[in-house]
Amino acid sequence: MITKSSLKGVLGFFIVILIGIGLALAGSQHGASALGVPIFALAVGLIFSIQWLVFIPAFAMQTEKFFDITGALTYISVTLITVLLSPSVDTRVILLLIMV
């Protein structure tokens, strides 16, 4: 039998997915694409994927050890990937990459 608590969890899961898809679509309007996929949407999908993949073992072990390093690695990797996939990389983009 489905409990009220588990129903809330499943509902919350789908709400978060829909919010993520909405943000990815809204942020991708008139943006650059790589292989037919908007780079912004690709970044949102990559961020969600990395965070959820790390959440699984962290939840199983009931630990928060992974989250700081995962957040940093996610931030750095997504920033680098979006710059590398950008159609034009100039001095301003490189400067922003270094400063971020």
pLDDT tens, residue by residue, 5-25: 888 988 999 999 999 999 999
- Are the CB atoms for 18 and 27 separated by under 8 Å? no
**Res 62: pLDDT:** 87
Q: Which two tokens stand for residue 85?
A: 């996939």
**Res 76: pLDDT:** 92
Angle subtended at Cα 93 by Cα 90 and Cα 42, rounded to the nearest 5 degrees: 115
Sorted by sequence, the CB contacts under 8 Å of residue 54 that are 6+ apart come out as 66, 67, 70
Number of domains in the chain: 1
**Res 26: pLDDT:** 95
Residue ranges in the chain whose pLDDT is less than 50: none
Facing residues of 33 across strands? Answer: 38
Provide the domain limits for residue 35.
4-99
